[in-house]
């Protein structure tokens, strides 16, 4: 019996309401919040820059210290020709692919050398699998982190975040790279605390309500490979039954000029001793300073009860996302 | 350049996601939450029943006590022919109106008599203007409440709610009526703590995402009036420049049968010593027990930063709401 008559495109209406009511302001906290203060910030779900989030890592993690501690431990490092891992590249067949990096095992000494002087690819430690701590640690104690010996320099939980959300963190990651590496626009299904130890991270942020502006497409999957240990990196398409990957088609260079005029990205630079709260569903594009940049992040599962999660899902499902490489997808 | 291509009706998609992920579960807390616990509940924004919210009013507010305390104080009471104040009625001209009640000034003794035995209209104390406490109190101390002498029997703030939201309450209201009075489906722009002192309140709740199912229309405004102090109640249309009122066209009787089959209302009964958290934007239809029912509620301004408020606004703005009394609005 009930029939819904629409007055306007609801997604564009929501995007406009959100922009008009929230602008591009980013709150800066002079020190980490209490759990109650952070709980209110999670409800608001806007990025926040937090000063004075201090860990032993901030004073300890010189190259020398890392080389001594990590010694001959082999670390999983992403290698790409141009610093664009998990990004869209054109394959040798002229088609566009979502391309995952080659993963090589390097010692920290080799990694630091490659970051500053490497000529055979861009190296970025970005394994994102809870390489410092992962939720598996709590279950069996058998998960072995490549960074086990650095664990005591950080914290496995951000207390005020754990208390605010009422749950333990899902994963803690370490990221090591420099200005050659860029992270393409994407969003994560996690509440994220992102802390910088050395160097700078520069985030370009877009709210979930403006996700439509990122021009997502479904791309075939590929990986960078080498046919010999020192050979050039090549794009190797994955088998045809590998699921297509939904990803933004915006370029990583000239990014801002590629966004629609009504979308107003927020730019936030995170420096050593600072952290950023990056709320669930926020789109982020990340650049780094030229010097060696080390960052940490704590991922917490987002709240799936209530309005926010349903809105984030509906925003993703309502949009028709074309396949890449088809004439009508231009 | 960016063009949004819709796959499905986003509002129906959101309504379905919300229903599938949240069901009709209502959490029951054995005692009032801490501020941090409540802050998480505000983020989830689902109704919660809270046990053991106890105030002096719960043991004090017998008829006898109220008559003694309020004495000859005149109270603003809503009068309607059938217990439906702020509701849709058909006027003498055959048109449908949003009709506000007649307001009469009665002593508490007169009100209690009218509630149990009145034959010349249904009486319900529902002034909703912060009749116990209002935000004006804090500014000049000059606001005079009709219930001033009962203030010490309740609290002006719900501490855990004030602390969770980080703001003071906007208004505290007292409601006195019985089963003859029903409150039509509506939503409020407030976070609401609703506590029952005597009797029972029975709420039928619909999430903001299913507001489309309430078949809102724009109605001309009217009031109940009497041409003589004991005369019958009549509907008097307001002047033509009175703004139209957007209101649900669902009936107050046979309510559940009038809702679409895919909408699953939540029914919550609140009894003495219990309170309900009714989140901002939730639609509620309220019935009372036959005995004299006394309730209190604390309204807090909702958070206007972030996603939730923008979603609530967009849900309201996206829908085309027809004018009532027009052929094509059926």
Could you tell me which chain A residue has the CA closest to the CA of B262?
A2
Among A1, A18, A305, the residue with its CB nearest the CB of B310 is A18
Q: Residue A129: which pLDDT band, with cuts at 50, 70 and 90?
A: confident
* Mean pLDDT across A293-299: 97
Q: A209, B322: Cβ pair inside 8 Å?
A: no
Query: pLDDT tens across B69-122, in order?
Result: 999 999 999 999 999 999 999 999 999 999 999 999 999 999 999 999 878 899
Among B22, B164, B318, the residue with its CB nearest the CB of A6 is B318
User: Distance, in angstroms, between B175 CA and closest chain A CA?
Assistant: 29
Residue A329 has pLDDT above 50, yes or no: no
Q: A46, B317: Cβ pair inside 8 Å?
A: no
Query: pLDDT tens across A142-188, in order?
Result: 567 899 999 999 999 999 999 999 999 999 999 999 999 999 999 99
Q: At how many degrees (to 10) do helices A35-44 and B35-44 cross?
A: 10
- Specify the pLDDT at position B8: 74
Mutate one of A43, A211, A214, A251 to test the B interface: name it (highest B CB count within 10 A): A43
- Specify the pLDDT at position A330: 45
Q: Residue A70: which pLDDT band, with cuts at 50, 70 and 90?
A: very high
Mutate one of B304, B318, B323, B328 to test the A interface: name it (highest A CB count within 10 A): B318
Q: A305, B21: Cβ pair inside 8 Å?
A: yes
Residue B142 has pLDDT above 80, yes or no: no
User: Distance, in angstroms, between A13 CA and closest chain B CA?
Assistant: 6
- Specify the pLDDT at position A1: 43
Q: A10, B318: Cβ pair inside 8 Å?
A: yes
* Mean pLDDT across A195-202: 98
Whole-angstrom CA distances from A90 to A84, A165, A185, A242 are: 12, 41, 17, 18
Residue B297 has pLDDT above 70, yes or no: yes
Contacts of A125 (CB under 8 A, 6+ apart): A75, A76, A77, A78, A111, A131, A174, A175, A176, A177
ipTM, interface predicted TM-score of the complex: 0.93
Could you tell me which chain A residue has the CA closest to the CA of B257?
A1
Closest CA to B212 of A329, A1, A181, A253: A1
Among B7, B305, B315, the residue with its CB nearest the CB of A317 is B7
Number of A to B CB contacts under 8 A, please give it.
165
User: Distance, in angstroms, between A175 CA and closest chain B CA?
Assistant: 29
Query: pLDDT tens across A266-284, in order?
Result: 999 999 999 999 999 999 9
Q: B17, A322: Cβ pair inside 8 Å?
A: no
User: Distance, in angstroms, between A243 CA and closest chain B CA?
Assistant: 20
Strand order of the β-sheet with A102-106 is A102-106, A75-80, A122-124
Q: B314, A5: Cβ pair inside 8 Å?
A: no
Chain B residues closer than 8 Å to A35 by CB: 36
Mean pLDDT of all residues belonging to chain A: 94
Residue A254 buriedness (CB in 10 A; 0-12 / 13-18 / 19+): exposed
Q: Residue A236: which pLDDT band, with cuts at 50, 70 and 90?
A: very high
Q: Residue B143: which pLDDT band, with cuts at 50, 70 and 90?
A: low
Domains (range + CATH), chain B: 55-317 (2.60.120.10)
């Amino acid at each position: 019996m009930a029939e819904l008559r629409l007055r306007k495109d609801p997604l564009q209406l929501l995007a406009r309401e959100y922009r008009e009511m929230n602008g591009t302001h980013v709150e800066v906290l002079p020190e980490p919040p209490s759990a109650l203060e952070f709980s209110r910030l999670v409800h608001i779900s806007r990025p926040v820059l937090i000063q004075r989030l201090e860990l032993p890592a901030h004073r300890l993690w010189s190259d020398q210290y890392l080389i001594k501690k990590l010694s001959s431990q082999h670390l999983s490092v992403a290698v790409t020709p141009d610093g664009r891992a998990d990004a869209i590249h054109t394959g040798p067949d002229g088609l566009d692919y979502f391309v995952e990096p080659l993963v090589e095992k390097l010692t920290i000494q080799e990694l630091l050398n490659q970051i500053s002087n490497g000529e055979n690819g861009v190296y970025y430690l970005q394994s994102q699998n809870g390489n410092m701590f992962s939720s598996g640690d709590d279950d069996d104690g058998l998960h072995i982190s490549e960074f086990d010996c650095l664990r005591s320099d950080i914290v496995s939980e951000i207390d005020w975040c754990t208390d605010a959300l009422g749950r333990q963190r899902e994963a803690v990651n370490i990221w090591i790279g420099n200005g050659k590496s860029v992270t393409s626009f994407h969003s994560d299904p996690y509440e994220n605390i992102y802390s910088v130890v050395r160097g700078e991270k520069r985030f370009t942020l877009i709210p979930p309500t403006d996700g439509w502006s990122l021009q997502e497409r479904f791309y075939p999957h590929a990986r960078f490979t080498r046919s010999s240990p020192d050979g050039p990196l090549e794009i190797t398409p994955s088998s045809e039954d590998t699921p297509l990957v939904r990803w933004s088609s915006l370029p990583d260079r000239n990014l801002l000029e590629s966004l629609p005029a009504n979308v107003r990205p927020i730019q936030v630079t995170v420096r050593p001793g600072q952290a950023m709260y990056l709320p669930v569903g926020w789109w982020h594009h990340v650049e780094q300073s030229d010097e060696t940049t080390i960052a940490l992040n704590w991922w917490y599962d987002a709240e799936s009860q209530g309005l926010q999660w349903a809105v984030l899902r509906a925003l993703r499902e309502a949009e028709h996302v074309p396949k890449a490489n088809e004439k009508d997808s231009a």
